[in-house]
Amino acid sequence: MNDPLVAIQLGGLAALALTEGCVGKVMGITSRGVFLNTGQRILFVTDADYRSPYNIQLPLRARQFEPFTPGDDWSYSIGELGFQNKNIRIDITKTVLWQPMPAPMVETTLLEQSERMGALLQRMLSLDPGKGWLYLADSSNLAPGSEAAMIKEMTDQFLAGVTNADLEGTLKAGKSILGRGGGLTPSGDDWISGFLLYHARSGTLNPFIDELGRSLTAMAFKSTTMISANRIEAACQGWSEELFLAIVDSLLLSNAEVSNLTVEHLIHFGHSSGVDTCMGIGAAVRIT
């Protein structure tokens, strides 16, 4: 049998999911890793070096995810993930555990946060205006009746519901947004996760948003991908990939700046998850 691959970092939610004797299947495969499920929980085996609650990070090695196919079985026992049909094992006993740092103290006003987020979205828009839902950052020329115009109406209805503390209306709009778009995490799901993450991370969580997050999470587990549902659930707790935590934190700290390299990482994160999550963060800031 081949020697096991040795993981170098383990996200906090992945660690909680890996209970002795748990089993699951390969859900999906990307160019940088393999999504796994165990029950209703997800994990992402990847060689990408960004920190995430779900990641099991492996050293970079060419073509190491090519043997995997959706539906492959895996199991976990005594610190090791095993893919018996692939003769692949992953040792997690030497990993470094990663969990998000607490949010910083808020040093900025809501107006400053809104201005900063608007500037960030404009930077992304200038680099790739066709990416995901970035058109919502400049929606003045959307064609009536187009998909983009319908999404603008849905998100406007969602935000109006939040502003008016109308849970029923917000959830009705949220239902139309969830699952909107393609991929393992559709654009609408990423938008909602960004919206909820901002509130949980920035300290603006209130009873209405708390109830909204719980209701959207329950809805997501029934109506969209399991990966999205897990991201939305984590966002309600203020957990997400480190990249998005840093974006929220950059709004809260008076001297924070977002580098050009970070903007590029956002543009290229997932199919469009980077920009769509930021669009959700920006929507939350705008109406808070």
pLDDT confidence of 139, banded at 50, 70, 90? Answer: confident
Tell me the per-residue pLDDT of 91-122, one tens digit each, with 9 for 90 and over. 999 999 999 999 999 999 999 999 999 999 99
Region 166-173 average pLDDT:
98
pLDDT at 253 over 80: yes
Q: Among residues of the chain, what percentage have pLDDT more than 90? A: 93
Per-residue pLDDT, 169: 98
Number of H helices, E strands in the chain: 10, 10
For the stretch 172-181, contacts whose Cβ atoms lie closer than 8 Å and that sit 24 or more positions apart, written own/partner, are 174/212, 174/215, 174/216, 174/219, 175/219, 175/223, 177/151, 178/216, 178/219, 178/220, 178/223, 178/224, 178/228, 179/223, 179/224, 179/225, 179/228, 180/151, 180/154, 181/132, 181/133, 181/272, 181/276
Tell me the per-residue pLDDT of 187-244, one tens digit each, with 9 for 90 and over. 999 999 999 999 999 999 999 999 999 999 999 999 999 999 999 999 999 999 999 9
pLDDT at 140 over 90: no
Q: Among residues of the chain, what percentage have pLDDT more than 70? A: 100
Per-residue pLDDT, 1: 57
Residue among 110, 135, 103, 106 at smallest CA distance from 122: 135
Region 136-152 average pLDDT:
93
197-210 per-residue burial string, b: 16 or more CB within 10 A, e: under 16 = bbbbbbeebeebbe
What are the φ/ψ torsions at residue 2 (nearest 5 degrees)?
A: -65, 150
pLDDT confidence of 127, banded at 50, 70, 90? Answer: very high
